Structure 1
């Protein structure tokens, strides 16, 4: 049981009990049915990476896949589906292939990082002016959206601040599919916590506070059964939605031991997860595209 499990259960209950049903959704399921959601606005979660790692144990989280996707975006600075498939064996982005620029996701994510040299500028800026308040990477570039079709970035903004020996980071996400990716301890928090660890190493700091803000976090209607299954598993683990945040937890530890402090030398072999024992089987979740 992790602290993220408690946060996830609290957030699921909040959406199911207090959320709003959307209207005229853009996404569709593979059968063409509109992918409706129930949502809440302005969800905020904060973790101290010096003490814990944000990962859900109520179901297995593909943490290596999450990190590889971050490599694709920030290390390879790529939008190529061929790179994603052949280098990392990740295929779920295929459904968002660009019509205008085939075999890519359009001028999005990694292509934007490369176009504006965002990662290198961030690392240089933190090193030269650590207490500056302009350490920002924004993937929301209107000019890029005009150049091609493609999914508008969901997790699109990171803000970085030095605090003594620590590097803190805030992730801003415009929209989040809670059970698939954006929820507490899910894919997005795992991968961006690891990105924070990598940038901290590359700039000579320790990873500190990680805050995740989701402007609109939703549960798809076809995920309601999965949400109830997670609530059932939490009940069996005696995770109560009204528990104090400082419940008794055994923190999961993400070890990061690279041989170099060069961001571009980091690899998936540099990461290892300790004390992670997720509940199985995995839960299947149909995507809204």
Structure 2
């Protein structure tokens, strides 16, 4: 059975049984009808996924892996902050009349900084360091720029990806691992979406760096289930679990900027029915 299912069920059960509630407190999110959106939450959740064992897609319901990849390409490859450059409509609610979400996400990745050896944006710097200095402990992207927060339509949720290379015994190629730091997460709407996004990003970066994709470690400061999501979560985690799908990339792609969603290969994805019309707190 999918280990991602086990991790998801254990995390949700822990939140429901041992979490604290924000009910009655002053909270920013609200439902479309204006009602405050309260949560049950756990602080400091850490989940580990080993991509050498399986791809971490849950099978309780389907995660749209091509759409996950498209959004991660939108941020880290196209370096866009405009929803017109994204095929799904998940960001439309935060876009202005031009389609911009402000100085967020892809805008931050594309900002160029000066280094002793030249000028690079965040993603180009990651790719360069993995080629030339892979055992550096400074290889990361960070989307949380305090001076730009007032011009972001939504503060970044998953904001810090730290890359770390290990040389495993008996392996001819190094292994690339990632630590993803997330300040806040709507567990029902976004947990496996974010996990799969960054697993795909790790796979892409590892492939173009001639490395094996290893562990994705996901740190969530505030992992929460919204009050109106509780019955949905309870039904979801009671479902049968299946074997994880086989997910790979077109091995012919060696340039990060040449990947498209057509290069994602998904096989044998057996899953439960989709959960539709999930209410989203805003």
Normalising to structure 1: TM-score of the pair? 0.88
* Contact 1:258-1:266 at 8 Å conserved across structures: no
> Quick one: distance in 2 between partners of 1:81 and 1:48?
32
Partner of 1:154: 157
SS in structure 2 of the partner of residue 123 of structure 1: helix
Richer in helix (by share): 1
SS in structure 2 of the partner of residue 169 of structure 1: strand
* Contact 1:15-1:40 at 8 Å conserved across structures: yes
Matched, 1:74 2:76: yes
SS in structure 2 of the partner of residue 40 of structure 1: strand
* Contact 1:202-1:263 at 8 Å conserved across structures: yes
Give the 4+ runs in structure 1 shifted more than 4 A: none
- Once the two structures are superposed, residues 5-27 of structure 1 have per-residue CA deviations (whole angstroms, 9 ceiling, x without a partner) of 11111111111111111122211
Deviation for aligned residue 1:102: 4.2
Deviation for aligned residue 1:51: 1.5
- Once the two structures are superposed, residues 200-236 of structure 1 have per-residue CA deviations (whole angstroms, 9 ceiling, x without a partner) of 1121111011111111100001101101111331xxx
Deviation for aligned residue 1:43: 0.8
SS in structure 2 of the partner of residue 106 of structure 1: coil
- Once the two structures are superposed, residues 127-185 of structure 1 have per-residue CA deviations (whole angstroms, 9 ceiling, x without a partner) of 11111100011001112214x14111000001101112210111000001001112xxx
Match of 1:134 among 135, 138, 158: 138
Match of 2:188 among 173, 179, 192: 179
| Residues 156 and 217 of structure 1: CA distance in aligned 2, closer, same or farther (over 3 Å) | same
> Quick one: distance in 1 between partners of 2:235 and 2:5?
13
* Contact 1:256-1:272 at 8 Å conserved across structures: yes
Deviation for aligned residue 1:250: 3.7
Partner of 1:265: 258
SS in structure 2 of the partner of residue 232 of structure 1: coil
Deviation for aligned residue 1:258: 4.1
Partner of 2:179: 170
Partner of 1:21: 21
* Contact 2:178-2:215 at 8 Å conserved across structures: yes
* Contact 1:67-1:191 at 8 Å conserved across structures: yes
Matched, 1:51 2:53: yes
> Quick one: distance in 2 between partners of 1:29 and 1:175?
17
Match of 2:230 among 224, 232, 235: 224
Deviation for aligned residue 1:41: 0.6
Partner of 1:12: 12
Match of 1:193 among 179, 188, 199: 199
Q: Cα RMSD between the aligned structures? A: 1.5
SS in structure 2 of the partner of residue 174 of structure 1: strand
Deviation for aligned residue 1:50: 1.3
> Between Structure 1 and Structure 2, how many residues are aligned?
266
> Quick one: distance in 1 between partners of 2:107 and 2:231?
37
SS in structure 1 of the partner of residue 201 of structure 2: helix
> Quick one: distance in 2 between partners of 1:232 and 1:80?
38
Match of 2:107 among 107, 111, 133: 111
Normalising to structure 2: TM-score of the pair? 0.90
SS in structure 2 of the partner of residue 92 of structure 1: coil
* Contact 2:60-2:237 at 8 Å conserved across structures: no
Partner of 1:204: 210
Partner of 1:213: 219
Deviation for aligned residue 1:92: 1.8
